[in-house]
Homo-oligomer: A and B are copies of this chain.
Amino acid sequence: MVISQSMRIGMLGSKFMGRAHSNAYINAPKFFDLKRKIVLQNVCARNEASLKAFAQNWGWLNWTSDWRKLVTDAEVDLVDIGSPNHLHFEPAVAALEAGKHVVCEKPLANDLSEAREMVKIAKKHRKLKSYVWFNYRRCPAISLAHELIQAGRIGRVLQVRCVYLQDWGGPDVPLFWRYQKKYAGSGALGDLAAHSIDLMRYLTGDEVKSVNGAVLSTVYKKRLLPEQTKKWGRVDVDDISLFLTTLKSGAVASFEATRLPQGYKNHNKIEIHGDKGSIRFDLERMTELDYFDSDSSTNTQGWSTINVSEGGAGHPYASDWWPAGHNLGYEHTFVNQFADMVRDMNGLPPRTPLPTFHDAYEVQRVLEAVMLANREGCTIPLSQVK
């Protein structure tokens, strides 16, 4: 290991994503040979008091409540944007303009015009990297699925089915930012289906051609304002989003995202059917990939549950961590992505393709088309949404 130079991080956000990303910065160098020293240089959040405790706990060298200072901090090489959706656009653009690499939480932006602009700026700065935290690409089971599909192990893809379910969004949850369009852009759609669309694109290499029907349903139309017991506000995003698409290849893909169905904690499920086999993944059992191989022995064909943890078997990322059968968890997806980002910034190939601003823009186009299809009650060709 030669540490040629350091990689200094500046991060916006100190909540769930702030913790998950900090963890990645600390642990990636322990498990991967990054060939750079990783420095937790500067962190930004609005609440100064809690920010200091956060920074000290995670080992951030500096902290600030002014994101403009962070994104222009001369000591920062990579700006990580983990703030709510409406606070992606401005910092991302400013960071790129300041010559920083950027990695942004998903969905990329609060609306399509922001996303379009972000891609434009990113393209302008050819030497800078612009990544998005579509971290689930790096569940080892998902990365393996990518390898299998690329290698033709399920044949020609005919159909994709994505269902992303959580159950925390019942009527008792107050009207925090995720329930307001101005902060979140959309509800379960942007929060959850964005991941699914990215996974579909990543795994199949295909693109949505049209959205052929969409239902965005708001089940609980009013919610109590946060920290209030009597004042109610209007929810203007979806609780349940369902949509059907056709893909450029001629395949079809269906999507569903909601935070209501009782019993599902983090059921990010994707299933892909080819003419020679199928793959199936559920984030709640993230160490497993199910695979059906139509070319295997006729009398023993069945869904094979692969424990994707065996370095010696070539399972992605397995040899970086523990011996076979010693499970990884949620946060490892961020560690894996960060390790690949560093490889990429070092000019080395990532283990599996990294999600870029361009990828996230394509996702955002689909989100936009879904909202249009729901409003218009008719099919929306993606070509109309740019």
Q: Of residues 282 to 325 in A, which have CB atoms within 8 Å of B's CB atoms? A: 283-294, 296, 298-307, 309-310, 312-315, 322-325
Contact A263 B242 (CB under 8 A): no
**Cβ contact of A326, chosen from B57, B266, B306, cutoff 8 A:** B266
Per-residue contact bits, chain A 214-226, to B (CB 8 Å; 1 contact, 0 not): 1101010000000
A119 at the interface (CB under 8 A from B): no
The distance in angstroms between the C-alpha atoms of A150 and B210, with both chains bound, is 39
B330 and A326 contacting across the interface, CB-CB below 8 Å: yes
- Cβ-defined contact, B329 with A262, below 8 A: no
Give the docked Cα–Cα distance between A284 and B58 (Å).
30
Chain B residues with Cβ under 8 A from A163's Cβ? 161
The segment from A43-51, A100-108, A126-134, A373-381 that touches chain B is A373-381
Contacts of A290 in B (CB 8 A): 302
Minimum CB–CB distance for A242 against chain B, Å: 5
Residue of chain B at shortest CB distance from A214: B213
- The SS class assigned to the A binding surface is mixed
Question: CA A153 – CA B328 in complex, angstroms?
Answer: 30
- Considering the chains assembled together, what is the distance between the CA atoms of A20 and B284 in angstroms? 24
User: CB distance B306 to A158 under 8 Å?
Assistant: no
**Contact across chains for A30 and B20 when beta carbons are under 8 A apart:** no
A380 to chain B, nearest CB (A): 9
Complex interface: chain B residues within 8 A of A154 (CB): 262
For A313, give its contact among B263, B276, B301, B379 (CB under 8 Å): B301
> How many copies of this chain are found per oligomer?
4
- Given the interface pairs A330-B326, A377-B378, the reply to whether A148 lies near B300 with Cβ below 8 Å is yes
Cβ contacts under 8 Å, A16 to chain B: 322-323
11 contacts between A and B (CB under 8 A): A153-B300, A158-B260, A212-B215, A214-B244, A242-B252, A262-B274, A262-B275, A262-B278, A288-B302, A299-B315, A377-B378
**Which residues on the B side are within 8 Å of A352 (C-beta)?**
none
A113 at interface by CB-CB < 8 Å: no
* A residues whose Cβ falls under 8 Å from a Cβ of B: 1, 16, 19-20, 22-23, 26-27, 29-30, 53, 57-58, 144, 147-148, 153-154, 158-159, 161, 163, 166, 168, 170-171, 212-215, 217, 219, 240, 242-244, 246, 250, 252, 254, 256, 258, 260-267, 271, 273-278, 283-294, 296, 298-307, 309-310, 312-315, 322-332, 373, 376-379
Q: Which of A153, A171, A278 has the most CB of B within 10 A?
A: A278
B158 touches A240 (CB 8 A): yes
Contact: B212 with A377, CB < 8 Å? Answer: yes
* A306 contact from B22, B148, B300, Cβ within 8 A: B300
Q: Please give, as numbers and ranges, the residues of chain B lying within 8 Å of A159 by CB-CB distance.
A: 240, 258, 260-261
